[in-house]
Amino acid sequence: MVKAITRQRFKGQVHCPICTHTVDADVEQVGKTVRVVPGQKCGRCSATLDVAAVLQVLEAA
């Protein structure tokens, strides 16, 4: 039996690896893993956020 993987999108705070600031971004929860949605850019330095670390998910529990 194959389980269906749930995907949910939220707003969140991520750490930009280039300018080292915390910026807003869309994050996606796939199963138990939370990742940055690919293709986004930092609002401060325009660097890609594909490898950014998710710091906070702005969603009520």
pLDDT tens for the chain, 61 residues long, are 777 788 899 999 999 999 999 999 999 998 889 999 999 999 999 999 999 999 999 877 6
Q: Return the amino acid letter for 28.
A: E
Whether this model's pTM surpasses 0.85: no
Contact 48, 36 (CB under 8 A): no
Amino acid (one-letter) located at 4: A
Q: Which regions of the chain does DSSP assign to beta strands (E)? A: 7-15, 22-30, 33-36, 53-57
